[in-house]
Copies of this chain bind each other. A is one copy, B any other.
């Protein structure tokens, strides 16, 4: 007897990047920050651990929302904290998508959007980007018109490029919601497109942020959405009452108060990124200019064997392959997280060894 919903039965499930639990890896596969969170963040967790863990957390995350609202110069009612940005993406699907409604997103990009659409019983369409990661306007407009939710990571993954306000605004569904996923925005200029929420049509836009990347807190699972209060109020009805725990709320609040620590790490990562890009280009890769903490590198003769060779040396990067409906649309490459200088040195010398052999 099959008890599952047909959508769940069919689903392969999203496969996240590997998380090896043993030591000794150079781990450059899931865009984690190689530097630790601010000491005040760790202190805030340790203090909260000695507090009242026997009681429920504040379901309204009052203190976190106050600090976030001040930092982003918005009202607290425009902030929705979540158990990782992934939870906010799930909440968006459950708030806006009825069976059969259309979810669209650029391709190649973050395929979790598609998995979440499938779970929700929505339809999805991929909008193929041009090979230079720009939008094909004709192709795009025909999809935008029919979309209820349009997700756009800005900067994009795996490419690392950023789109302008004008390009983003063309993705706004007339009767739907544009979600700008700013997971990597702290690594780019400007650091956010928050001003797009204040413009005409801003009440049909949601910005999602995470502390996993720039704030070095992938381990605590914390993200938040920013949107006009009316949209946030609807999303809040869908979320679990106590979706963020006492410890992650304490850590997240402290992390937002430690902007200079985050900025310092971002500067280090950008400096290492420049070395990585140069090294990869010297090694014969095509590398997209990145505004994130990773780079996307391709080769005319393919990358899958290089990925396997790196893995044998306990260096983990992300091999990604995006298949299209036409043979010439297949894109494959390596997405390499910017680690410490030492990690990137180790990676580049392994790469030289592999390519030389």
Contact = CB atoms under 8 A, between A and B. Distances in A.
Interface of A: 1, 3-6, 8-9, 11-14, 16, 19, 21, 27, 30, 32-37, 41-42, 45-46, 49-59, 62, 83-84, 86-87, 90, 94-99, 119, 121, 148, 175-177, 204, 212, 216-221, 231, 234, 236-238, 240-248, 251
Contacts of A5: 94-98
14 contacts: A4-B234, A8-B95, A8-B238, A19-B58, A21-B62, A35-B54, A42-B49, A45-B247, A54-B216, A54-B218, A56-B212, A83-B221, A83-B243, A245-B245
A86 B119 contact: no
A246 B234 contact: no
Contacts of A57: 19, 218-219, 221
A47 B29 CA distance: 25
A244 B83 CA distance: 8
Given A36-B53, A49-B42, A248-B245, A3 B204 contact: yes
A238 B121 CA distance: 12
B119 A238 contact: yes
Contacts of A212: 56
Contact of A241 (B16, B62, B243): B16
Contacts of A175: 1, 3
Contacts of A95: 4-5, 8
Contact of A234 (B8, B49, B84): B8
B11 A237 contact: yes
Contacts of A248: 245, 247
Given A212-B56, A240-B84, A247-B45, A176 B3 contact: yes
Given A3-B204, A42-B49, A177-B3, A218 B97 contact: no
Top 3 A-B residue pairs of the complex, sorted by shortest distance between their CB atoms = A219-B246, A53-B219, A13-B237
A99 B177 CA distance: 23
Nearest to A233: B13
Contacts of A13: 236-237
Nearest to A231: B3
Contacts of A84: 240, 242-243
A49 B1 CA distance: 45
Contacts of A59: 16, 19
Contacts of A90: 240
A3 to B, nearest CB: 6
